[in-house]
Every structure is written in C-alpha cells, then in structure tokens.
Chains A and B, each alone.
Chain A
C-alpha cells in the first residue's frame, strides 16, 4: 500500500505570493489533517478534513485554507505569503476522523524569501 504522498517536497516563494500544497492520503483513508512545523513552535494543527468537509480548524489566520476532494486528496493554500510562513508542512492520513492512528507524509518544506 502506498504511503502518504505530499507534493512538492520543496518550494521557494516570494513574500506576497500564494502557494498550494497537495496531499494524497493512503488509499481508503478518508481523513486528512494538516500541520505546520517550525523549530520554535513544534507541530501545530492547521485543519482536519473528513469526507470533503472541514471538521476541525486550528488557530491560524484566514490566509490559510484547505479543501478535500471526493477521492480524499487534499490541498492547502496559503495566500499573501509572509516570511513567518516558512516551515515544514505535514499532512497526516487516517482511516477515521478524530484522534485515531495517523500516518504522516514526508512534508513540504516551504521557504518564503
């Protein structure tokens, strides 16, 4: 069974631009969660999607948004990028919604210059 796939792996963007990151969960998994990881803050929850609906949302500004498609693939978008958005963005795939066993992707390393 293929694991969680995140694309792209690395990305460099300029302040003010927008970016879209993609996450393909494990086949059959319907829940995708997104996290931002920075050295100072650790893993911080962004949002959780299950069956194309956002079920939970973390404490991030509205510039951060996401969606999930009918095939469970998920995208997250960050608009008007700021230097502080530089981070590793990780998605996790679960069969069920909520606090269940999660499988993480390799992440997308975003650098904003």
Chain B
C-alpha cells in the first residue's frame, strides 16, 4: 500500500465544473503540499498546509490532520487547469491526479 494515495487517478471535467481531488496518507506528515505539474515537466507549489483551509484564487485546499486526509478543490474550472496534481509531504508524494478540463 502506498503511503500517500490520491483519487481519482484521472479526471475529466467540463469547463466551469467544480472539481475535487482527494489525498489520503498513512504516514505522519507535518505539512502537506499540493503541487501542480503542467505538460513539459515544471512543478509549481500550490499550497503547503498543516491545518484547516487555504484559498488562492479559484483553488481551495483543506486538511484534516486527525483523519490524515486532504482535498484540493477547483471552482469554475478552466482548460488551463489541465495538469497533474500531486500531494505529499515529508519527502513522500502520491502518484498524482491527471486532470483534463474540456472547453
């Protein structure tokens, strides 16, 4: 069993839809990262959170430390949100969720 599990692995949405990506972990992670990777490889750090909720534009990340679970929400999704989203921390990451937003 992987120490960080993401679901779904692949997600296709229509532009404007509300999207949720889930991340569950079985190891102690002091702060969880959400990363975004566009085709071509470059990775951008979206959030680092250790409790509660953070919001940046249309992106919202929540975490429940007791349940070892985090979610990334995208409101009013747009084709430019198409990317792989990766969660993890303490040097351990999930395999990513590939999101495709269709116009």
Contacts and interface: CB of A to CB of B under 8 A. Distances in A.
Chain B binds chain A: yes
B95 A41 contact: yes
B92 interface: yes
A25 to B, nearest CB: 14
A71 to B, nearest CB: 23
Contacts, number: 51
Interface in B62-99: 86, 88-96
Contacts of B92: 45
Interface in A38-62: 41-45, 48, 56, 58
B45 A101 contact: yes
A109 interface: yes
A33 B86 CA distance: 16
Interface stretch (B13-21, B25-33, B53-61): B25-33
Contacts of B86: 42-43
Given A107-B41, A107-B42, A45 B91 contact: yes
Contacts of A64: none
B91 A58 contact: yes
A102 B41 contact: no
B64 to A, nearest CB: 18
Contacts of A102: 33, 45
15 contacts: A42-B86, A42-B93, A42-B94, A43-B86, A44-B93, A88-B41, A90-B43, A98-B90, A100-B48, A102-B33, A103-B45, A104-B35, A106-B42, A107-B42, A107-B43
